């Protein structure tokens, strides 16, 4: 009888382990496979692990004190319910990708699980003559199986740690292969783009302009990590390409240098420096130093570095780099935009080049802040030898980058401004300015900003104050996450009857659609937190 119960108990636990581990592998992947970040994330989301810990402790105590068959049957039923509760089924914005790395980790994880199960069977089959045990009569086998189930959140990152030497070797091979491919294309011109924000937009804008004259490859989507850049080079770079635009992201000091050591960019563009990823960077100074690792690399290579002259932190560091080219809207920029005209239809400006040449540009992009990145793209394209007048049409063709102030018309009474990929103070402020351009019922839907370290509460509070000055209605997503925004809105003297706090984005949008207004509704979707928030 005990053997049958153990088999059923183990089968149920195994189902729970599979379901539970898939969730943990997904979170580990979203945290970039970095064990320290994942550990911090687990600590921050400790509530999701309280129930497994309580169940493990309760069952451990009851098993060790001697569990009768009815109790074991009850535990089996309980574990079955836990397994069903953790069954994959939720639709994620960014689902688990079964990459080769994930598959290797899964193999290691299930080897660890198999060892635990083997020990359970081994100890369960032992007989002690002096105590006259029967197979699986003692609690240890059940405790071991229980451990494999409820300690899955620890075993998943453990498999990642065990695989670390293997992963380093695999990554090194791929990176070296990418370097080999680049070395075989000496005429390929490489440009690196980094910044706390704006780098993806700059990459798309620059690609639009450069590709009007040259065969150009850019890193796709948000492929801005070492492996993302490596994959782009190995899978997409062709001998016919003349320019390679490489977006470079970082969450820690020296990560931009790591990317420069792979791509070896001839030129670089730094779009911004600000309070982004402070939980991993620690300070804005560390952010500044990391972004300028690109400038250091370019200077060593004898290339050109283009800097956003409107950003105070960047401007303060610029004098250290001989020949640095500033772009923006402020006095002193080598490429400067003036006479800026902004409406809900688009933006116009006059650009003055270093030689005094002027040219009027028109674009569909919304907001004065968009001018910065477009001017930077024009500056670089002009530096490659493309005349300003030949850039007028490509600039006019530039479309909004998906999820970055992208205008989505949903009919005669509703339009969305999709800014879901923005999660920084400057971007949020710019998005509110764009929302303010419209003669309409202005609505904000947001979960707020994250990864801002000790300043997160303060900056979200300020965001709430700024939103109160622009919006007719505000829908906040997440009761706990949005408390600082709510307090900022309230502090601004806003009518709190016009504020709605929803549990999910779907609920918030349903509320937005229910608002009755004489004007067309313009809904700003500001930031969309990843699945691990």
| Per-residue pLDDT reduced to its tens digit, 6-40 | 788 788 888 888 988 998 999 999 888 988 888 88
Given a cut of 70, is residue 469 above it in pLDDT?
Answer: yes
What are the CA-CA distances from residue 355 to residues 180, 268, 382 (Å)?
A: 39, 21, 12
Distance, in Å, from the CA atom of 494 to the CA atom of 496, rounded to the nearest integer, reads: 6
3-state class (DSSP) for residue 337: strand
What confidence tier does 87 reach under pLDDT thresholds 50, 70, 90?
low
Q: 91: pLDDT confidence band, cut at 50, 70 and 90?
A: low
Span 122-137, mean pLDDT?
A: 56
Band (71; pLDDT cuts 50, 70, 90): low
Residue 461 — very low, low, confident or very high, per pLDDT cuts 50/70/90?
very high
pLDDT of 136 higher than 90: no
Q: Could you tell me which residues are beta bridge partners of residue 336?
A: 328, 352
pLDDT of 130 higher than 50:
no
- Tokens standing for residue 247: 């977006």
State residue 129's pLDDT score: 43
d(CA 455, CA 511): 30
Look at 3 and 350; give whichever has higher pLDDT.
350
- For 71, residues 6+ apart whose C-beta sits below 8 A from its C-beta are 62
pLDDT band at 181 (very low <50, low <70, confident <90, very high): very high
- pLDDT, mean over the chain: 88
Place of tokens 């700024």: 466
The rounded distance, in Å, linking the Cα atoms of 398 and 364 is 7
Q: How far apart are CA 507 and CA 89, in angstroms?
A: 19
Q: What is the pTM of this model?
A: 0.83
Among residues 45, 31, 188, 167, the alpha carbon closest in space to that of 96 is found at 31
pLDDT tens profile 204-242: 999 999 999 999 999 998 789 999 999 999 999 999 999
In the predicted model, what is the mean pLDDT of residues 505-529? 90
**pLDDT score, position 86:** 66
Cα separation, 129 vs 121, whole angstroms = 18
Residues β-bridged to residue 415: 409, 522
70 pLDDT tier (thresholds 50, 70, 90):
low
Buried b (16+ CB within 10 A) or exposed e, 185-207: beebbbbbbbbbbbbbbbbbbbb
What tokens does 398 get? 């530039």
Phi/psi at 293 (nearest 5 deg)?
A: -60, -30
Q: Which residue has the higher pLDDT, 81 or 368?
A: 368
Dump pLDDT digits (tens) for 244-295. 999 999 988 999 999 999 999 999 999 999 887 777 888 999 999 999 999 9
Structure tokens at 153: 């959140």
């Amino acid at each position: 009888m005990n053997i049958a119960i153990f088999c059923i108990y183990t089968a149920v636990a195994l189902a729970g382990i599979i379901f539970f581990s898939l969730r943990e592998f997904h979170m580990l992947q979203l945290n970039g496979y970095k064990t320290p970040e994942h550990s911090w994330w687990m600590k921050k989301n400790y509530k999701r692990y309280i129930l497994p810990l309580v169940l493990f402790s309760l069952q451990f105590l009851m098993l060790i004190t001697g569990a009768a068959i009815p109790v074991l049957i009850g535990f089996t039923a309980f574990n079955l319910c836990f397994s069903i509760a953790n069954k994959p089924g939720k639709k994620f914005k960014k689902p688990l990708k079964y990459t080769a790395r994930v598959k290797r980790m899964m193999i290691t994880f299930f080897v660890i699980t198999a060892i635990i199960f083997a020990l359970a069977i081994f100890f369960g089959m032992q007989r002690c003559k002096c105590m006259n045990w029967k197979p699986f009569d003692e609690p240890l086998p059940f405790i071991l199986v229980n451990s494999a189930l409820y300690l899955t959140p620890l075993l998943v990152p453990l498999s990642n740690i065990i695989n670390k030497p293997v992963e380093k070797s695999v990554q090194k091979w791929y990176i070296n292969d990418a370097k080999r491919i680049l070395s075989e294309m000496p005429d390929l011109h490489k440009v690196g783009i980094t910044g706390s924000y704006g780098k993806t937009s700059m990459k798309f804008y620059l690609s639009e302009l450069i590709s009007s004259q040259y065969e150009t490859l850019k890193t796709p989507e948000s492929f801005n990590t070492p492996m993302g850049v490596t994959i782009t080079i190995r899978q997409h770079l062709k001998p016919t390409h003349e320019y390679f635009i490489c977006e470079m992201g970082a969450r820690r000091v020296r990560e931009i240098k790591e990317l420069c050591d792979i791509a070896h960019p001839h030129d670089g563009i730094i779009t911004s420096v600000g309070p982004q990823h402070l939980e991993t960077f620690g300070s804005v100074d560390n952010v500044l130093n990391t972004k300028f690792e690109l400038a250091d690399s370019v200077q060593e290579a004898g290339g050109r570095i283009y800097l956003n002259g409107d950003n105070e932190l960047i401007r303060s560091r610029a004098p250290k780099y001989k020949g640095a080219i500033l772009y923006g809207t402020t006095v002193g920029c080598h490429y400067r935009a003036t006479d800026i005209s902004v409406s809900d239809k688009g933006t116009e400006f006059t650009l003055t080049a270093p030689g005094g040449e002027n040219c009027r540009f028109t674009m569909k992009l919304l907001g004065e802040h968009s001018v910065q990145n477009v001017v930077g793209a024009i500056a670089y394209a002009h530096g490659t030898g493309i005349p300003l007048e030949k850039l007028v049409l490509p600039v006019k063709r530039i479309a909004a980058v998906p999820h970055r102030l992208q205008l989505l018309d949903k009919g005669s009474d509703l339009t969305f401004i999709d800014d879901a990929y923005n999660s920084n103070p400057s971007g949020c402020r710019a998005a509110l300015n764009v929302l303010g351009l419209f003669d309409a019922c202005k609505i904000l839907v947001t979960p707020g900003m994250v990864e801002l370290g000790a300043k997160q509460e303060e900056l979200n509070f300020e965001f709430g104050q700024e939103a109160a000055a622009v919006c007719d209605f505000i829908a906040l997503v997440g009761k706990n996450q949005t408390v600082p925004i709510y307090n900022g809105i309230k502090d601004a003297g806003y009518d709190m009857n016009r504020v709605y706090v929803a549990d999910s984005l779907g609920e918030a949008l349903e509320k937005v659609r229910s608002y009755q207004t004489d004007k067309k509704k313009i809904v700003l979707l500001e930031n969309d937190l990843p699945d691990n928030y």
